[in-house]
Chains A and B, each alone.
Chain A
Protein backbone atom coordinates (compact mmCIF):
# COMPACT_ATOMS: atom_id res chain seq x y z
CA UNK A 1 0.00 0.00 0.00
CA UNK A 2 0.89 3.66 -0.24
CA UNK A 3 2.97 5.31 2.47
CA UNK A 4 2.06 8.32 4.56
CA UNK A 5 4.57 9.85 6.95
CA UNK A 6 4.10 12.22 9.85
CA UNK A 7 6.66 14.43 11.49
CA UNK A 8 7.43 14.71 14.30
CA UNK A 9 6.41 11.42 15.89
CA UNK A 10 6.55 12.98 19.34
CA UNK A 11 6.68 16.57 20.49
CA UNK A 12 6.71 18.20 23.90
CA UNK A 13 6.10 21.91 24.13
CA UNK A 14 5.37 24.59 26.67
CA UNK A 15 1.93 26.01 27.16
CA UNK A 16 1.31 29.00 24.90
CA UNK A 17 3.62 27.94 22.11
CA UNK A 18 2.61 26.71 18.64
CA UNK A 19 3.39 23.32 17.19
CA UNK A 20 3.35 22.26 13.55
CA UNK A 21 2.74 18.67 12.49
CA UNK A 22 3.48 17.58 8.92
CA UNK A 23 1.71 14.84 6.98
CA UNK A 24 3.23 13.68 3.71
CA UNK A 25 2.13 11.19 1.09
CA UNK A 26 5.38 9.65 -0.10
CA UNK A 27 4.44 7.80 -3.25
CA UNK A 28 1.11 9.17 -4.40
CA UNK A 29 -0.70 12.44 -4.81
CA UNK A 30 -3.16 13.03 -2.02
CA UNK A 31 -6.04 15.17 -3.17
CA UNK A 32 -7.65 14.85 0.24
CA UNK A 33 -6.15 14.55 3.68
CA UNK A 34 -7.94 14.03 6.96
CA UNK A 35 -6.83 14.96 10.46
CA UNK A 36 -7.93 12.93 13.46
CA UNK A 37 -7.42 13.24 17.16
CA UNK A 38 -7.32 10.24 19.46
CA UNK A 39 -7.46 10.27 23.24
CA UNK A 40 -6.14 7.28 25.19
CA UNK A 41 -8.26 4.17 24.80
CA UNK A 42 -10.72 6.00 22.60
CA UNK A 43 -11.60 6.04 18.93
CA UNK A 44 -10.39 8.42 16.25
CA UNK A 45 -12.26 11.70 16.17
CA UNK A 46 -12.29 13.53 12.84
CA UNK A 47 -11.09 17.11 13.19
CA UNK A 48 -11.08 18.33 9.62
CA UNK A 49 -11.01 17.41 5.95
CA UNK A 50 -8.41 19.10 3.81
CA UNK A 51 -8.48 19.31 0.02
CA UNK A 52 -5.43 20.47 -1.88
CA UNK A 53 -5.55 24.15 -2.69
CA UNK A 54 -8.68 24.95 -0.72
CA UNK A 55 -9.66 25.73 2.83
CA UNK A 56 -10.13 22.87 5.23
CA UNK A 57 -13.58 21.83 6.36
CA UNK A 58 -13.71 21.58 10.15
CA UNK A 59 -15.98 19.33 12.16
CA UNK A 60 -18.39 20.86 14.60
CA UNK A 61 -16.71 21.83 17.83
CA UNK A 62 -13.20 22.05 16.37
CA UNK A 63 -11.74 25.56 16.60
CA UNK A 64 -10.39 26.50 13.21
CA UNK A 65 -8.33 29.35 14.65
CA UNK A 66 -6.64 27.00 17.07
CA UNK A 67 -6.04 24.10 14.70
CA UNK A 68 -4.74 25.63 11.48
CA UNK A 69 -4.66 23.26 8.54
CA UNK A 70 -2.81 23.92 5.32
CA UNK A 71 -2.82 21.65 2.28
CA UNK A 72 -0.67 23.60 -0.13
CA UNK A 73 0.53 20.70 -2.27
CA UNK A 74 -0.63 17.27 -3.34
CA UNK A 75 1.85 15.59 -1.02
CA UNK A 76 1.85 17.75 2.10
CA UNK A 77 -0.67 18.89 4.69
CA UNK A 78 0.20 20.58 7.95
CA UNK A 79 -1.67 20.94 11.22
CA UNK A 80 -0.57 23.79 13.45
CA UNK A 81 -1.78 23.81 17.03
CA UNK A 82 -1.65 27.46 18.03
CA UNK A 83 -1.19 28.66 21.61
CA UNK A 84 -1.17 25.09 22.81
CA UNK A 85 -2.52 24.23 26.25
CA UNK A 86 -2.33 21.01 28.29
CA UNK A 87 -5.83 20.00 27.16
CA UNK A 88 -4.50 19.89 23.58
CA UNK A 89 -2.25 17.01 24.55
CA UNK A 90 -3.32 14.07 22.44
CA UNK A 91 -2.39 11.71 19.62
CA UNK A 92 -2.91 13.28 16.20
CA UNK A 93 -3.26 11.08 13.12
CA UNK A 94 -3.48 12.08 9.49
CA UNK A 95 -4.73 10.04 6.58
CA UNK A 96 -4.51 10.64 2.86
CA UNK A 97 -6.54 9.65 -0.14
CA UNK A 98 -5.71 9.88 -3.83
CA UNK A 99 -7.85 11.20 -6.64
CA UNK A 100 -11.07 9.13 -6.64
CA UNK A 101 -11.18 9.39 -10.42
CA UNK A 102 -7.96 7.41 -10.68
CA UNK A 103 -8.24 5.50 -7.40
CA UNK A 104 -11.89 4.52 -7.30
CA UNK A 105 -11.46 2.19 -4.36
CA UNK A 106 -11.21 5.29 -2.18
CA UNK A 107 -8.73 3.73 0.18
CA UNK A 108 -7.31 5.95 2.90
CA UNK A 109 -3.73 5.55 4.03
CA UNK A 110 -2.82 6.49 7.57
CA UNK A 111 0.25 8.16 8.97
CA UNK A 112 1.90 6.73 12.09
CA UNK A 113 0.61 9.54 14.30
CA UNK A 114 2.12 12.31 16.41
CA UNK A 115 2.00 12.35 20.18
CA UNK A 116 1.72 15.92 21.45
CA UNK A 117 2.37 16.72 25.08
CA UNK A 118 1.81 20.27 26.27
CA UNK A 119 3.37 21.11 29.62
Chain B
Protein backbone atom coordinates (compact mmCIF):
# COMPACT_ATOMS: atom_id res chain seq x y z
CA UNK B 1 0.00 0.00 0.00
CA UNK B 2 1.06 3.54 -0.64
CA UNK B 3 1.46 6.13 2.09
CA UNK B 4 1.95 9.87 1.92
CA UNK B 5 3.50 11.81 4.79
CA UNK B 6 3.32 15.53 5.36
CA UNK B 7 5.34 16.31 8.47
CA UNK B 8 4.38 19.98 8.81
CA UNK B 9 0.84 20.36 10.21
CA UNK B 10 1.03 24.15 10.08
CA UNK B 11 3.25 26.75 8.49
CA UNK B 12 3.23 30.48 8.05
CA UNK B 13 4.97 32.82 5.66
CA UNK B 14 5.15 36.55 5.15
CA UNK B 15 3.49 37.95 2.08
CA UNK B 16 5.88 38.05 -0.92
CA UNK B 17 8.25 35.55 0.70
CA UNK B 18 8.95 31.98 -0.35
CA UNK B 19 7.82 28.88 1.50
CA UNK B 20 8.43 25.17 0.96
CA UNK B 21 6.02 22.44 2.02
CA UNK B 22 7.40 18.94 2.51
CA UNK B 23 6.00 15.63 1.36
CA UNK B 24 7.41 12.13 1.35
CA UNK B 25 5.77 8.98 0.10
CA UNK B 26 6.30 5.28 0.13
CA UNK B 27 5.52 2.98 -2.78
CA UNK B 28 6.86 0.00 -4.65
CA UNK B 29 5.33 1.28 -7.89
CA UNK B 30 7.48 2.72 -10.65
CA UNK B 31 4.79 4.50 -12.67
CA UNK B 32 2.74 7.00 -10.75
CA UNK B 33 1.65 10.60 -10.42
CA UNK B 34 2.18 13.04 -7.59
CA UNK B 35 -0.03 16.03 -6.92
CA UNK B 36 -0.37 19.04 -4.71
CA UNK B 37 -3.92 20.15 -4.00
CA UNK B 38 -5.04 23.34 -2.32
CA UNK B 39 -8.18 23.49 -0.18
CA UNK B 40 -9.12 27.07 0.72
CA UNK B 41 -11.80 27.91 3.33
CA UNK B 42 -14.47 27.23 0.69
CA UNK B 43 -13.28 23.59 0.88
CA UNK B 44 -13.19 23.22 -2.91
CA UNK B 45 -10.23 21.05 -3.86
CA UNK B 46 -8.03 22.80 -6.39
CA UNK B 47 -5.21 21.14 -8.29
CA UNK B 48 -2.04 23.17 -7.85
CA UNK B 49 0.53 21.09 -9.67
CA UNK B 50 1.16 17.54 -10.85
CA UNK B 51 4.27 15.52 -11.55
CA UNK B 52 4.62 12.34 -13.56
CA UNK B 53 7.15 10.02 -11.99
CA UNK B 54 8.85 9.12 -15.25
CA UNK B 55 9.65 12.78 -15.94
CA UNK B 56 12.87 13.95 -14.35
CA UNK B 57 12.15 17.62 -14.91
CA UNK B 58 10.44 19.29 -11.98
CA UNK B 59 6.97 20.62 -12.74
CA UNK B 60 6.34 24.36 -12.56
CA UNK B 61 3.11 26.36 -12.62
CA UNK B 62 3.68 30.09 -12.33
CA UNK B 63 4.65 30.74 -8.67
CA UNK B 64 4.42 27.07 -7.76
CA UNK B 65 7.20 24.58 -8.36
CA UNK B 66 8.14 21.18 -7.03
CA UNK B 67 11.35 19.46 -6.08
CA UNK B 68 10.81 15.85 -7.07
CA UNK B 69 13.44 13.44 -5.78
CA UNK B 70 12.33 10.01 -6.96
CA UNK B 71 15.06 8.00 -5.27
CA UNK B 72 14.41 9.72 -1.97
CA UNK B 73 10.63 9.56 -2.54
CA UNK B 74 10.33 13.22 -1.78
CA UNK B 75 8.00 15.74 -3.42
CA UNK B 76 8.16 19.24 -1.92
CA UNK B 77 6.17 22.26 -3.06
CA UNK B 78 7.73 25.71 -3.27
CA UNK B 79 5.50 28.75 -3.35
CA UNK B 80 7.26 31.92 -4.44
CA UNK B 81 6.05 35.46 -3.88
CA UNK B 82 3.40 34.22 -1.45
CA UNK B 83 0.03 35.95 -1.65
CA UNK B 84 -2.76 36.24 0.89
CA UNK B 85 -4.91 34.09 -1.37
CA UNK B 86 -2.47 31.23 -0.95
CA UNK B 87 -3.74 30.76 2.60
CA UNK B 88 -5.24 27.26 2.59
CA UNK B 89 -4.75 23.62 3.45
CA UNK B 90 -2.32 21.94 1.08
CA UNK B 91 -2.52 18.22 0.46
CA UNK B 92 0.14 16.10 -1.19
CA UNK B 93 -1.31 13.12 -3.06
CA UNK B 94 -0.12 9.98 -4.83
CA UNK B 95 -1.81 7.99 -7.56
CA UNK B 96 -0.74 4.87 -9.39
CA UNK B 97 -0.64 5.39 -13.13
CA UNK B 98 -2.40 2.18 -14.10
CA UNK B 99 -6.10 1.49 -13.75
CA UNK B 100 -8.83 3.38 -11.94
CA UNK B 101 -6.92 3.89 -8.76
CA UNK B 102 -7.81 6.56 -6.23
CA UNK B 103 -5.69 9.36 -4.87
CA UNK B 104 -3.88 8.71 -1.62
CA UNK B 105 -3.66 11.91 0.41
CA UNK B 106 -1.31 13.09 3.08
CA UNK B 107 -2.69 14.66 6.24
CA UNK B 108 -2.18 18.15 4.94
CA UNK B 109 -0.32 21.32 5.85
CA UNK B 110 -2.20 24.42 6.89
CA UNK B 111 -0.46 27.42 5.35
CA UNK B 112 -1.11 30.93 6.55
CA UNK B 113 0.19 33.89 4.56
CA UNK B 114 0.67 36.91 6.79
CA UNK B 115 0.41 40.47 5.55
Contact = CB atoms under 8 A, between A and B. Distances in A.
Contact of A49 (B95, B100, B105): B100
Contact of A31 (B95, B97, B100): B100
A112 B44 contact: yes
Interface of B: 33, 42-45, 47, 50, 91, 95, 97, 99-100, 102-108, 110
B43 A113 contact: yes
Given A31-B100, A42-B107, A106 B95 contact: yes
A41 B50 CA distance: 23
Contacts of B42: 112
A104 B8 CA distance: 32
B102 A46 contact: yes
Interface size class of A (residues with CB under 8 A): 20 to 34
B42 to A, nearest CB: 7
A44 B100 contact: no
Contact of B91 (A1, A44, A112): A44
B47 A32 contact: no
12 contacts: A1-B47, A34-B102, A42-B107, A42-B108, A43-B107, A46-B102, A46-B103, A49-B100, A51-B100, A93-B45, A106-B95, A110-B45
A13 B47 CA distance: 32
Contacts of A32: 100
Given A44-B91, A107-B47, A113-B44, A49 B107 contact: no
A100 interface: yes
Given A44-B105, A110-B45, 5 more contacts: A34-B103, A43-B91, A43-B106, A106-B95, A113-B44
A89 to B, nearest CB: 15
A81 B4 CA distance: 29
Contact of A43 (B44, B97, B108): B108
Contacts of A113: 43-44
Interface in A3-51: 31-32, 34, 38, 41-44, 46, 49, 51
